[in-house]
């Protein structure tokens, strides 16, 4: 299998660059072709050129019309993505959306990738959603979650202006995904920024009120899920295995970043780029398999 | 005669001391008596503000809506006030409070994170509410930083800035320096919210007033997180001696304390070894009761948990870290 699916990144900021390095280091089924920005002298575009990728400064226009590019990572913002989504759809390009625009269905690779393989727009929820939805889904599978509540604490340094100006988007999108993907009947999400120096790692506390608090089944289900997430987020770890008090289950997970482009404390950014890559890889693998089998049928 | 505005938060910060278990009826009774005594502004809700009812902070006895409904129907003169911590409460919570005639919203952020409040300040302003930018844990930042963050709140449209000693960790000179720095930087009135972990709540409040603060927080009987807040009835008596008008009737507010609030308290509001540790180590006051519970569960010393939380520079809202710290301490034993 010599071919790889060509991909592009729009938005060469922190998220876009972290993703670029992850594609360089880890991708098996996709290769990066173009990085699109809007600021000619930006650090991100410079890094992209240094790494041998095509760059353009006219944003999405630099990608549209290029038939080779099949997958586009949108690392801009919710508003731009609302404009980008229909344009990409028109050209049959798959959008992997790292903004909170929520045009397409939520995807959390360890939980529902297999269910939504045929969409053309994947939404990556939020960093908190990527960290906590898997745990809620695991507990739900073992014990039926009536109510899920998560608390994500991230270092102030890793929260950019977009997060800060729209902090309600985090709480609302995350709680929505805890229900839609995690399977909880009701949910609540809380985010806390901590300015301590040195910066803290991203930590997430997951509280679940369950119907059938079977400790062994819950623990086993959570441990298996943690392994699944670790396949694409190596810095994901269980800090406190499920503690059960009555119908309440408390679990804590920590996310350390890979530290290749962004510092290790930015686990909240790492987990979303890692999830985006996992989604794109799966979509690319499917495309390659389909084209292989079509070739097979023609022969 | 000079004036000071008293914001009574018995029915919000005081909720911490009763694990958020006041009923809507309790709130209505207390609010009515505060109103009749002449309190200017009455803050209500879960201890952690709108949307605070949760596993993380404890579930309140009733919903925000039930409390708003109960109180808004009984107060006649006082302004109804709610508090929101961005990251916990959301815009629709403010919208609901506005519907029940809340006139004041306090948008509370950690002292270095004012910019997460922009969205909420603007939404509250769009409902015509008075907005207070509330800088929690002010002891953790130097005066210049507090002033810089106050300036951000001002730029988003806040009407007043509060310097908040959430950990009851400041001494009068530190309060004075922060109030003065904020006053020198913004054009807005400035207020102070004190806690009594070091026994300095009333003294710090007077220091704040002397430094130019024109609004001071209190709670009846000092009911509140940690060792509690500045007792409202004590503030009224002190200001009266200073010949400063609060608009509050001293005998009536004393009676509210003794006859209405005292019978509803769950425990005496005192400076014990753990609450003193909060002030000394600079830890968020609401952690106290959660710490007692975790200490019991994991069989560790509450003070060790609090000191470790201080060492880790925890901020308001990180109640979940208490479990982790207690668990880790128990494993070290």
Q: Are residues B230 and B324 in the same domain?
A: no
Return the active site residues of A: 127
Interface residue A193 vs chain B (CB under 8 A): yes
Picking from B112, B119, B327, the nearest residue to A166 by CB comes out as B119
Of B217, B235, B264, the one marking the end of a domain is B264
Q: Name residues whose C-beta falls within 8 Å of residue A200's C-beta, 6 or more positions apart in sequence.
A: A153, A154, A155, A194, A265, B312
Q: Are residues B126 and B253 in the same domain?
A: yes
Q: Mapping DSSP to helix (H, G, I), strand (E, B) and coil, where does residue B299 land?
A: coil
Phi, psi (5° rounding) for residue A88? -70, -40
The residue of chain A nearest to residue B91, with distances taken between CA atoms, is A168
Euclidean distance between CA atoms B108 and B9, whole angstroms: 14
Average pLDDT of the residues of chain A: 93
Q: Are residues B211 and B123 in the same domain?
A: yes
Exposure class string for A178-201: b at 16+ Cβ within 10 A, else e:
bbbbbbbeebbbbbbbbbeeebbb
Give contacts of A 40-69 with B, CB under 8 A.
none
Q: Which residues of B touch A145 (CB under 8 A)?
A: none
DSSP code of B54? B
- Contact by Cβ (8 Å): A200, A153: yes
Euclidean distance between CA atoms B266 and B131, whole angstroms: 32
- What pLDDT score was predicted for residue A299? 43
ipTM (interface predicted TM): 0.95
Which range marks the domain in which residue B22 is found?
A: 2-264
Q: Are residues B171 and B318 in the same domain?
A: no
Q: Are residues B88 and B216 in the same domain?
A: yes
CA distance A100 to chain B (A): 16
- What pLDDT score was predicted for residue A294? 66
Domains in chain A, please, with CATH? 5-124+273-298 (3.40.50.720), 127-263 (3.30.360.10)
pLDDT, tens digit, 9 for 90 and up, residues B52-97: 999 999 999 999 999 999 999 999 999 999 999 999 999 999 999 9
DSSP A77-88: -HHHHHHHHHHH
- Burial category of B332 from C-beta neighbours within 10 Å (exposed 0-12, middle 13-18, buried 19 and up): exposed
Give the pairing type, strands B41-44 and A145-155. Answer: unpaired
- Contact by Cβ (8 Å): A217, A263: no
Q: How many CB atoms lie within 10 A of CB B176?
A: 19
pLDDT for residue A278 is more than 50: yes
Q: How many CB atoms lie within 10 A of CB B284?
A: 27
Of B223, B245, B264, the one marking the end of a domain is B264
pTM over 0.90, yes/no: yes
Picking from B54, B113, B327, the nearest residue to A149 by CB comes out as B54
Q: Are residues B295 and B239 in the same domain?
A: no
CATH number at residue B315: 1.10.8.60
C-beta atoms of B55 and A207 within 8 A: yes
Q: Which residues of B touch A167 (CB under 8 A)?
A: 86-87, 116, 119
Of B212, B242, B264, the one marking the end of a domain is B264
- What pLDDT score was predicted for residue A98? 94
The residue of chain B nearest to residue A201, with distances taken between CA atoms, is B312
Q: Are residues B259 and B285 in the same domain?
A: no
Q: Are residues B246 and B323 in the same domain?
A: no
Q: Which residues of A touch B56 (CB under 8 A)?
A: 149, 151, 190, 205, 207
Q: Are residues B104 and B178 in the same domain?
A: yes
Q: Are residues B309 and B219 in the same domain?
A: no
Confidence at B303, pLDDT banded by 50, 70, 90: very high
CATH number at residue B76: 3.20.20.70
Euclidean distance between CA atoms A114 and A72, whole angstroms: 20
* Residue A164 vs residues A228, B114, B161: alpha-carbon distances, Å: 30, 9, 20
C-beta atoms of B90 and A171 within 8 A: yes
- Contact by Cβ (8 Å): B27, B256: no
Q: Are residues B254 and B279 in the same domain?
A: no
> How many separate domains does chain B show?
2
Give catalytic status of residue B16 as yes or no. Answer: yes
Q: Are residues B211 and B322 in the same domain?
A: no
pLDDT for residue B284 is more than 70: yes
Euclidean distance between CA atoms B135 and B108, whole angstroms: 6
């Amino acid at each position: 299998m010599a071919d790889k699916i060509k991909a592009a990144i729009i938005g060469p900021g922190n998220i876009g660059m972290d993703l670029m390095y992850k594609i360089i280091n880890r991708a098996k089924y996709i290769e990066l072709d173009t990085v699109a920005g809007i600021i000619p002298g930006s650090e991100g575009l410079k890094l992209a050129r240094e790494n041998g990728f095509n760059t353009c400064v006219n944003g999405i226009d630099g990608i549209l019309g290029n038939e080779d590019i099949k997958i586009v990572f949108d690392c801009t913002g919710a508003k731009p993505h609302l404009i980008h989504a229909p344009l990409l759809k028109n050209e049959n390009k798959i959008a992997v959306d790292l903004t909170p625009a929520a045009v397409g269905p939520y995807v959390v690779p360890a939980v529902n990738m297999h269910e939504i393989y045929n969409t053309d727009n994947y939404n990556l929820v939020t960093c908190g959603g990527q960290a906590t939805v898997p745990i809620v889904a695991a507990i739900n599978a073992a014990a039926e979650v009536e109510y899920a509540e998560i608390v994500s604490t991230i270092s102030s340094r890793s929260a950019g202006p977009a997060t800060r100006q729209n902090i309600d988007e985090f709480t609302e999108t995350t709680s929505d995904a805890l229900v839609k993907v995690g399977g909880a009947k009701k949910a609540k999400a809380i985010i806390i920024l901590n300015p301590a120096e040195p910066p803290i790692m991203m930590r997430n506390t997951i509280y679940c009120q369950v119907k059938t608090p079977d400790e062994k089944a819950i623990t086993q289900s959570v441990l298996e899920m943690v392994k699944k997430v670790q396949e694409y987020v190596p810095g994901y770890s269980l800090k406190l295995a499920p503690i059960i008090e009555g119908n309440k289950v408390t679990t804590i997970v920590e996310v350390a970043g890979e530290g290749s482009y962004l510092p290790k404390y930015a686990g909240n950014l790492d987990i979303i780029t890692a999830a985006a890559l996992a989604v794109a890889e799966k979509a690319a693998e499917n495309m390659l398999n389909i084209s292989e089998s079509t070739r097979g049928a023609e022969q | 005669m000079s004036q000071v505005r008293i914001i009574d938060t018995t029915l919000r910060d005081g909720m911490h001391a009763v694990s958020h278990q006041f009923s809507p009826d309790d709130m209505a009774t207390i609010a009515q008596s505060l109103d009749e005594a002449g309190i200017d502004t009455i803050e209500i809700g879960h201890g952690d503000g709108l949307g605070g009812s949760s596993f993380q902070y404890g579930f309140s006895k009733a919903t925000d809506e039930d409390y708003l409904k109960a109180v808004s129907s009984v107060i006649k003169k006082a302004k109804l006030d709610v508090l929101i911590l961005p990251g916990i409460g959301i815009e629709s919570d403010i919208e609901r409070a506005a519907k029940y005639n809340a006139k004041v919203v306090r948008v509370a952020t950690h002292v270095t994170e004012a910019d997460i409040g922009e969205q909420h300040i603007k939404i509250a302003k769009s409902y015509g509410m008075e907005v207070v930018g509330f800088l929690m844990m002010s002891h953790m930042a130097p005066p210049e930083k507090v002033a810089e963050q106050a300036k951000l709140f001002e730029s988003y449209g806040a009407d007043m800035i509060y310097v908040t000693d959430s950990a009851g960790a400041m001494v009068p000179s530190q309060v004075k320096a922060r109030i003065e720095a904020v006053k020198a930087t913004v054009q807005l009135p400035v207020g102070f919210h004190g806690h009594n972990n070091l026994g300095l709540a009333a003294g710090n409040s007077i220091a704040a007033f002397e430094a130019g603060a024109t609004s001071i927080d209190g709670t009846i009987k000092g009911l509140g997180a940690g060792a509690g807040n500045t007792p409202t009835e004590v503030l009224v008596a002190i200001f009266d001696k200073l010949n400063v008008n609060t608009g509050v009737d001293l005998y009536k507010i004393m009676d509210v304390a003794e006859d209405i609030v005292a019978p509803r308290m769950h425990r005496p509001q005192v400076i014990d070894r753990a609450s003193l540790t909060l002030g000394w180590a600079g830890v968020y006051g609401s952690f106290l009761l959660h710490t007692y519970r975790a200490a019991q569960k994991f069989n560790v010393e509450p003070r060790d948990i609090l000191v470790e939380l201080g060492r880790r520079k925890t901020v308001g809202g990180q109640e979940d870290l208490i479990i982790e710290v207690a668990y880790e301490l128990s494993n070290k034993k």
